[in-house]
Amino acid sequence: MTGRLSGAMMAALLASSAIPAVAETPDRERIAGTVEAQHDANVAALRDWIALPTIAAEKLNTPAGAEYMQQLALDAGFQQAKIIPTDGVPAVFATLDSGADTTLGLYFMYDVKQFDPAEWNSPPLEGRLVEREGEGLAMVGRGAVNQKGPETAFLAAIKAIQASGRKLPVNLVLVAEGEEEVASTHFDQVVAVPEVRDALAKSIGVFIPSAAQGEDGSATITLGAKGAVEFQLVVGGETSDKYPQTDIHSSNHARIENPAWRLVKALDTLVADDGHTPAIDGWFENVRPLTERQKMLIAQNAELNPEAQEKERLGVGRWIDDEPYVTSLERFYSQPTVNIQGLNAGYTGQGGKTVLPGRAEAKLEFRLVPAMTKDEAVSKLKAHLAKRGFDDVQVTVSGGYGPNETEEDSTLIRAQKALFEKDGVPYSIIPRNAGSWPGVIFNGPQLNLPASQFGLSRGGGAHAPNEWFLIESSDPAVNGFDEAVMAYVDYLYAVAEEAGRSD
């Protein structure tokens, strides 16, 4: 397949959208000059932010991460920025009133995933600039692409507009959490604060900065994201007296149950014999199938993102059941999953140790699709285990939320289409991101707001060693940092213009 949309595919997109072209960003050349002048400072700002990781799972740099995020907002021109306490890691709430007719909500996360320095080619907190073959100069560090690179680029965009002597075309309401990487355990508490809720309610929608540009320069518009629930299953001396309190000699397995085997038996009931189809009782009861429009969008996305390239990126040679590429993508975007992230029990070092473990734990996650909910998924899991007699399997939910979805004709999405069409950026639309972010907090009750992702920047390695964000691109079709900043500048003006058309 080709790496570009065919003429027919692009024509279908244009016909389906019927979006008027957006006007040129006012004083764009002047703003771009400001961005260029601020390049070194912006790159240094990203490096400095990478050097301070907030890791919710380890309670690392809390509340320091929130205080840092608060200062970043103030430095970017937000008139007020407050730390919002929660029962876990604090959040940040900030507002920037430019006197505009339109208010835009903005979601940030300031936390990052864990890392093992031994797995990295350069120190994960150094923010080293590394040449990537065929790509250009990239910054490597934990959080570089998820999400500090895109967020730094957005902050740089609003700084540049103001430094160029202009007011922002929209007012901004920012909410930034420090627990996204543990499935946003307490984020609902943040949005429930009356001051935060009332400010967001004035917005036309909420978006999260992202790095959504492909290696050929193409863009992806997402109309939602799967939900996520993170949880642990534990079996051992802490859950039943039929297991030892600590590891004991393995000869005792003749008379004492092994919690690791018990955990394996429980896990095996969660999926069918094929090893991937969820088998939790009632799991598919509320799963909404793809519409014909969504299937068409997925087929268009497949043309823009070649199968061979996708397999190489993932390091695989085939899809489940050797399915065709488009079928695998339909599964990717539409199927809820039950995934084992990791298993831990007994001795895992070199050689054997002849022990019977006193504890076995599995870390799992659900990915949820419309119209599933977090509460439904957790309730069905517990009922499923109880029905099969696994009362000695402890279920601990560490965080989670349901899926989110936004209409294709919302202002946020229409502005993206108009911008890409004006600039000649090839793009596809997908029904939802197969990954997750807590957009449901915004487009669910009580706010009922559109929630989307946007960003014309490039990076990779999220949650993995050697995470990177492109700073200087060797391909004119692909954005480096400064071009990514200007894409946010243009998007703010496109949103304001599109919102004006809707009034």
| CATH code (residue 475) | 3.40.630.10
The reply to whether 373 and 485 lie within a common domain is: no
Confidence of residue 503 (pLDDT cuts 50, 70, 90): low
* Same domain, residue pair 396 and 413: no
Assess whether 142 and 235 both reside in one domain.
no
Quick one: how many helices (H) and strands (E) in the chain? Answer: 15, 20
Q: Domain check: are 152 and 238 in the same one?
A: no
pLDDT of res. 18: 55
Question: Are 281 and 183 in a shared domain?
Answer: no
Q: pLDDT of 190-210, one tens digit each?
A: 999 999 999 999 999 999 999
How much is the CA Rg of the chain, to the nearest whole Å? Answer: 24
Percent of the chain with pLDDT over 90: 93
Tell me: the pLDDT tens digits for 335-365? 999 999 999 999 999 999 999 999 999 999 9
pLDDT of residue 226: 98
Distances (CA, A) of 118 to 123, 309, 466: 9, 28, 11
Residue 435 Cα to chain centre, angstroms: 6
DSSP codes of every residue in 154-218: HHHHHHHHHHTT---SSEEEEEEES-GGGT-TTHHHHHTSHHHHHHHHTSS-EEEE---B-TTS-
pLDDT attached to residue 305: 86
| Chain-centroid distance, C-alpha 286 | 23
Whether 55 is in a domain gets the answer: yes
* Upstream peptide bond of 446 is cis (omega within 30 degrees of 0): yes
Report if residue 279 sits inside a domain: yes
Indicate whether 386 and 414 sit together in one domain. no
Beta bridge partners of 425: none
Statement to judge: residues 75 and 112 lie in one domain: yes
Phi (first) and psi of residue 111, to 5 degrees: -95, 165
pLDDT-based confidence at 304, cuts 50/70/90?
confident
Whether 116 and 260 map to the same domain: the answer is no
How would residue 1 be classed by pLDDT, with cut points 50, 70 and 90? very low
Within 10 angstroms of residue 126's Cβ, the number of other Cβ atoms is 16
- Asked if 210 and 255 sit in the same domain, the reply is no
pLDDT classification of 126: cutoffs 50, 70, 90: very high
DSSP string, 348-395: -SSS---EE-SEEEEEEEEEE-TT--HHHHHHHHHHHHHHTT-TTSEE
* One domain, residues 378 and 494: no
Closest CA to 176 of 112, 111, 108: 108
Q: Is residue 9 part of a domain?
A: no
What average pLDDT does the segment 152-168 reach? 98
The range of the structural domain enclosing residue 260 comes to: 226-287+336-401
Gap between the terminal Cα atoms of the chain: 42
User: Is 56 part of any domain?
Assistant: yes
Same domain, 375 and 474: no
Return the SS3 of 264: helix
- Number of folded domains in the chain? 2
Domain end point (choices 367, 401, 435): 401
Per-residue pLDDT, 12? 42
CATH code, domain carrying 261 = 3.30.70.360
Answer yes or no: do 365 and 263 share one domain: yes
Q: Is residue 14 part of a domain?
A: no
User: Would you list the DSSP string of 216-228?
Assistant: TS-EEEESEEEEE
Single-letter amino acid, residue 127: G
Position 5 pLDDT exceeds 80: no
Residues with Cβ within 8 Å of residue 108, at least 6 apart in sequence: 69, 92, 147, 151, 174, 175, 176, 177, 208, 209
